[in-house]
Amino acid sequence: MSRALPDTARRGWCPGLSRPMPTGDGLLARIHPPLGVLSLTQARAVAEGARRYGNGHLDLTARANLQIRGVTEATTAPLAALLDHVGLGDTRRDGGPQRLTLTSPLAEGDISALAKAIEDVGRGVPGLPPKTLVSVGMAMDEADLSVLPLVAGRVAIVAGTFVWQCGSSDTPASIGTLLAAFVATGQRRMRDVNPDALRHCERSEAIQGSGPPPNVAPLDCFAPLAMTVEVPAPGLSTHDGQPILALDAPFGRCTVNAFERLIAVAEDIGAAEIRLSPSRGMVLLPSRPEKIRLPDLAANFIVAADDPRRAVAACTGAPACASGSTPTLLDAARLAETFRPLAARGLSAHVSGCAKGCAKPGPADLTLVGHEGAYAIIVGGAPGDSHQLQVPIEAALERLGRAATLGLAAAFASATNDGGRNRRPA
Ligand code: SF4
C-alpha cells in the first residue's frame, strides 16, 4: 500500500532504499551505484530486487541511477537489505544526496578517484539539499558545481557564473568549502545563490593553499572547457582504442528480463561491469567485441544514434502511475516515429502523463501533457506551462505529421482545420 504524500512534500525528495518515495504505482526506490558503475554481481542483485520486490521494470535516470517501482511497505526492508549486501545501500541518512557526483560512463583513473574523494567529502557536509550535484570531468548545466581538469595538475571548479582554479589534490577540500558555503545560503540550487555569498571561499585554506592565487573569472573565459562531456552514442564505437558498447533504454525504462539478458551478454562479451550513462543508458567495455550481436539487443534497447526515441522523453504514465490518464510510453513510441524528421534536426519532444513532468521538468520543443485521456500541447515550453490546444493522441500525431513542412508552431496552431476533433474543452 502506498503512502499519500502531497506534491509539496515530494519536491526535492531524493528517494533512496530505506526511504522510498510514494508514487502512483507504489513506492519508488532509487539505487545510487557508486560512481554509476555496477559489477555483474551487483547487477544480478538489482534484477533480483526488481523482480521479487518491485514491478519487474527498471528506470534509468538522467543522473545515471536506477529506480525500482512498485515497492511496498512490506518489501522496502528486504529490498534494501538485498542491495546493501552487495554495496548498493544508502550512503547517508540525513536526507542529503545519496550520490553527489556524476561522471562520464567512460571516466577512469584520476577522474574516478577525484569523484570518489568528493563523495567522501560531501558526506561530511550536513544539510546538503538532496538534489545537490557535482559533475566531475564534464560540464553540465544542471550541476551545482562542475569540476574540470586543466593542465599541470590543476582543475577549474565552476559554480554558477564563477570559476575557481585549484590544485587537483586540493579539489576535494575546496569542494567541501564551497558546499558548506552553499548550505549556509539556504538555497536549494547553486544557480540561485548570490555569487557574493561564495566570495569568502576564495580566502579558504584549501583554495588559497593551492599554489597560484585563486583565479575568479567570468564563465565565458572557460567556455571551451564545456566541451568535455563524454557520453557515448548508442552502438559500437571505440574510445582510446577500447571497444565500447553503448545502449540506451527507450524512454529510460527496461524490463528485468531485458536487463538480465544484458547481464548475460556482458558475461559473453567479456565486460566486467555495467556503467550507467546520463543518457539513460548503459555502457559496456567488452574484451570480446566480436561476440556482440547488435540486432539481438535492438529488441530491448536503442542501438543506433539516429533512433528518434532518443529525442523523446516520456514518464511512466497510465496505467502504472495513478496521476496519469494516458498511456504515455505507448504514445511516446508512436510519436517518436512521426517525430523522426524533427529529431534529425535536433528538436526534442516530451510526452508527460501530467503537469508534474517527472521525465523532463524543463522545456522541450514539443510537450504533450496528459489530461483526462487527451493531451495538452505546448510548443517550446515545459509541462507546467499554459497551453492553447488539447487533443487526443491521434490528432496530435496527425498534426505532427505536418510539422516537418509547416513547423511545430503552425502545425499545432489552435485554429488549424482538423474537422472539429481538436476543440479545446469548455
Ligand atoms: S509526470 Fe507521469 S510519472 Fe510523473 S506523476 Fe505525472 S503521470 Fe505520474
Q: pLDDT digits over 44-69, tens only?
A: 999 999 999 999 999 999 899 999 99
Note the pLDDT of residue 336. Answer: 98
Is 388's pLDDT higher than 90? Answer: no
- Which of 8, 69, 356 to mutate to test ligand 1, by most ligand atoms within 8 A of the CB atom? 356
Task: Pick the more confident residue, 155 or 233.
Answer: 233
Q: Which of 268, 297, 326 is the last residue of a domain?
A: 297
Point out the domain boundary residue: 53, 84, 115: 84
Q: Which among 25, 358, 360 is the best mutation to test ligand 1's pocket, defined by most ligand atoms within 8 Å of the CB? A: 358
User: How is residue 336 written as a grid cell?
Assistant: 517518436
Question: From the CB of residue 407, how many other CB atoms can be counted at a distance below 10 Å?
Answer: 13
| Judgement on whether residues 319 and 369 belong to the same structural domain of the protein | yes
Judge whether residue 267 has pLDDT over 70.
yes
What separation in Å is there between the alpha carbon of 329 and the centre of ligand 1?
A: 11
In this predicted structure, the answer to whether residue 425 has a pLDDT above a threshold of 70 is: no
> Same structural domain for residues 111 and 38?
no
115 & 224 share domain = yes
> Domain with 55 in it: what CATH number?
3.30.70.3340
Q: In the predicted model, is pLDDT for residue 232 greater than 70?
A: yes
According to DSSP, the residues that pair with 149 across neighbouring strands are 155
Q: Is residue 2 part of a domain?
A: no
- The dihedral through the CA atoms of 397, 400, 401, 402 has a sign that is positive
Do 72 and 183 lie in one domain? The reply is: no
Which atom of ligand 1 is closest in space to residue 354's alpha carbon? 6
pLDDT at 205: 54
Residues 20 and 118 placed together within one structural domain of the fold:
no
State the pLDDT at residue 200: 72
273 and 38 in contact (C-beta within 8 Å)? Answer: yes
Residue 89 lies in a domain: no
265 and 168 fall within a common domain: no
pLDDT of 3 above 50: no
Q: In the structure, how many helices (H) and strands (E) does the chain have?
A: 11, 21
Statement to judge: residues 213 and 243 lie in one domain: no
Residue 341 in any domain: the answer is yes
Residue type, 315: C
Mean pLDDT, rounded, for 94-118: 94
Residues 220 and 262 in one domain: no
* Range name among 168-177, 195-204, 385-394 with the lowest pLDDT average: 195-204
Coil, strand, or helix at residue 148?
A: strand
Q: In this structure, is residue 100 part of a structural domain?
A: no
Q: Specify if 424 maps to a domain.
A: no
- Asked if residue 136 and residue 242 are part of one domain, the reply reads no
Give the pLDDT score at 23: 83
- Which of the listed residues 50, 84, 118 is the one where a domain comes to its end? 84
**Nearest-CA neighbor of 353 among 337, 369, 340, 332?**
369
Asked if residue 264 belongs to a domain, the reply is yes
Structural domain includes residue 90: no
> What's the number of domains the chain is made of?
4
Q: Ligand 1 centroid to 405 CA: how many Å?
A: 32
Ligand 1 probe mutation, 321, 331, 351, most atoms within 8 A of CB: 321
pLDDT at 41 over 90: yes
Average pLDDT score, the chain = 87
Domain that holds residue 407: 308-411
Q: What is the pLDDT of residue 357?
A: 92
Written as one string, the DSSP assignment of 36-89 is GEEEHHHHHHHHHHHHHHS-SEEEE-TTS-EEEEEE-HHHHHHHHHHHHTTT-S
| Residue 283 within a domain | yes
Is residue 120 domain-shared with residue 168, that is, in the same domain? yes
CA dist 64 and 323 (Å) reads: 25
Pocket of ligand 1 (CB under 6 A): 24, 315-317, 321, 323-324, 352-354, 356-358
The answer to whether residues 119 and 220 belong to one domain is yes
Q: Which amino acid is at 233?
A: A
- CA 8 / ligand 1 centre spacing (Å): 15
Task: Please tell me whether residues 67 and 124 are part of one structural domain.
Answer: no
